[in-house]
Structure 1
Amino acid sequence: MTSTRAVVVGAAALLGIALLGACGKAAESGTAQPAAQEQAAAGPLAGQNAGNEVVPQGAPDLATAVVPGLGTVLTNGEGLTLYRFDNDTAKPSQSTCDGGCAEKWPPLLATSGDVRVQGVDQSLVATLDRADGTRQVTVAGWPVYRFAEDVSPGQAKGQGVAGTWFVAAPDGKKAAPAAGLVLTTASVGNLGTVLTDKDGMTLYRFDKDTADPSASNCDGDCAVQWPPLLVDSPQFEVQGVDQSSVGAVTRADGKLQATVAGWPLYLFADDTVCGDAKGQGVGGVWFAAKPDGTKAGV
């Protein structure tokens, strides 16, 4: 099998698709919608958000979600976990899984000219030509696959099978158990890639806080509705976030709250399943936080 050209994010719009959010949560009314549903409200130019991040306008072929114990992982557009195979090669890109193997481990196929991505570095994404003439998506040269026994997003039953199959991380490497992980990222609906805690729950920032200096102004009843992301130390484990932007601020009760780019981070009590983003825009002052600390979706 030979590799083909690198591909770019497509801009075709697919409206009204019932997909799944990060971590395998079915989209519901009032929650963040699927990882690449077209932006319905007027806003930045199609294909861009306010931070000039490329945002796919159709269902993504590649997205990300959080699997507890593994951190942020690759998924297909339906939120199903993706894997890589040790018997394959990345340089050159080559798949060695055909026949019965491919029935158990269906390759992720490129079904259009472009591979649409969200939360994945576009420069790492390409395709290879399989023996049957189909094109399989690769990440950092590694062919990626689903596992037939994973039937719902968030499952990773194929992890470690036969000592050769492993969940794929967004950089194409093997996802590793993230002991001590506090902060990571995932694709969440129209919001694109946002900060989450280790369980994939969306994290928010509050306009009434300050970043320089870092200060939290959410206490009492506010902190019940918007629980602060607490840490034991200003140094903590992160994935997909610039470590130099991470810190902590001391709250009025003496506890340490995680910050990114100086902004204190919070959960939202009404978010019940990873992929929820019910706090987005609440009161015009609460917004999901992007990995650089800026507001998502504005």
Structure 2
Amino acid sequence: MTISIEKPIFEEGSAFQKKSEDKTGELNLDGGFSMPEMATKDDDEAFLAPEMNAFGRQFRDYDAKSERQKSVEEFYRLQHINQTVDFVKKMRAEYGKLDKKVMSIWECCELLNEVVDESDPDLDEPQIQHLLQSAEAIRKDYPNEDWLHLTALIHDLGKVITLPQFGGLPQWAVVGDTFPVGCAFDESNVHHKYFLENPDFQNQAYNTKTGIYTEGCGLNNVMMSWGHDDYMYLVAKENGSTLPSAGKFIIRYHSFYPLHTAGEYTHLMNDEDKENLKWLHVFNKYDLYSKSKVHVDVEMVKPYYMSLIEKYFPETLKW
């Protein structure tokens, strides 16, 4: 099942608009770098990424008039007002303790069944289905990159912090697009107008392009708005995951749409970030376009993913 895009809905500046193939048959994205060639499948096995989401609307359309869109906009209003430097520091300190629970990766996957992402305009299915849909689509197109299959499976596990046993954070502190704090809020951020009410907006130390950072400082030195991305990255890192750097980068920045789709904030990146961003561009297509009402048989694919968890993670982790 090869995902091929026919007239997809892209936001301006998406790297996937620049996809090309060189004479060696290797896939090149946004600048000519070489990636592993996708597995070749017969046409009748190909999966065509849909132009419309499960609600019959364009993907990531935040301006459509609907009840769900109204709730999504309200979500971003709260997120943009409340995600400040002080709030992020507080959350990093609290969740950096990793004292909420001890459990395995798969146990966390099952817990995620209780979570519905209120910021997502494209789907209201249980989260474990989105994880498996993404992972299975990547697995078929990149069969030799097992770390990428596992990264897809676990990339949203941090959303458990919205559950009571993990502190019950409000959705605006867990999901949605992420962005740096401590520097100017770029206009590529969804519903940018609500940043006007953020206390940091008028802080002169934070309202320049680089703010408290320097050009090329590296995203690892940049504070991102707090949410499931940074939390799951922290869990993976502190529990000694052996996922490659690109896998951890995907986990930490997959919701950073102003970077990987709009192409903004690149002035903060270092060379390692630029290399890892290539894999994030690959991943994003599957993260967004594999969302479906068609469910994956969990028990059928579970043994494969359990073997990957055993390869890249300890049996139990501190959360």
The two structures share one fold, judged by TM-score above 0.5:
no
Higher strand fraction (1 or 2)? 1
Higher helix fraction (1 or 2)? 2
Higher relative contact order (CA 8 A, sep 6+): 2
Please, what TM-score do these two structures have when normalized by structure 2? 0.27
Please, what TM-score do these two structures have when normalized by structure 1? 0.28
